[in-house]
Amino acid sequence: MFKRRTPEAPANPPQVVKPGGKGRPTPKRSEAEKRRRQPITAPSSRKEAYKKVRERQASERGKARAGMAKGDEKYLLKRDKGPVRKLARDYVDSRRTVGSYLMYAMFAIVMLSLLPIPAARLLVLFAPPVLLVVVFAEGLLLSRGIKKLAAERHPDDDVKGVGLYAAMRAMQIRRLRVPGPQVKVGQKDRV
């Protein structure tokens, strides 16, 4: 009775769209919460929960292992990341190195040491130090070469440690290198 009378509001008020606005009214909190809700699928037991966690972790490890083997930058370890390290890997992988055959040679030397032949025993005595000196010299040459190449191609990037990285990779058996080789032996176009 003592209220002020307001003019009748139209049934469909015109919507004012602000420039840069979203063009629709903000939903009520209850509506937004209903949309966000998802059915909770809690495991029935701890055993089942642990099983699901282990399965998820195993699939993630499998993806990471496959990505690392392919050389995917996302899955690489910190020591393997970056364009300079990729250049070093390609530089080493495009060459045959004595270091990659070192384990095979050492195994052959151990087998020769079992023979009762005096010449074989003499070879067993002198071969390991000679092989190690050759591998060390080869590592130094690879280290110098990759540092020089990295300084030319990537002058802005840090080349610290790339020589040792290349030398250590050269001593690994080619099939067991991680990340796996991306270039073939003798392929010089990517290096």
Note the pLDDT tens digit of each residue in 136-159: 999 999 999 999 999 999 999 989
3-state SS, residue 168: helix
Structure tokens that stand for 96 in this block: 């045959």
Task: Please determine, for residue 7, whether its predicted confidence score (pLDDT) is greater than 70.
Answer: no
In this structure, are residues 154 and 83 in contact, taking their beta carbons and an 8 Å threshold? yes
Confidence (pLDDT) at 93: 94
Would you list the domain boundaries of the chain?
Answer: 47-76, 80-176
Residue 181's pLDDT is: 92
Q: What is the largest CA-CA distance in the chain?
A: 125
- pTM for this entry: 0.70
The whole-number pLDDT of residue 14 equals 64
- 23 pLDDT above the threshold of 90: no
Alpha helices in 114-177 (DSSP H): 118-153, 162-170
User: Chain-wide mean pLDDT for the chain?
Assistant: 88
pLDDT at 17: 64
Q: Which of 145, 140, 155, 177 lies closest to 83, judged by CA?
A: 155
Of the listed ranges 9-18, 44-53, 135-144, the least confidently predicted one is 9-18
pLDDT for position 72: 87
Does residue 90 surpass a pLDDT of 70? yes
Q: What is the pLDDT of residue 87?
A: 95
Query: Can you tell me the distance from the alpha carbon of 82 to that of 122, in angstroms, rounded to the nearest whole number?
Result: 46
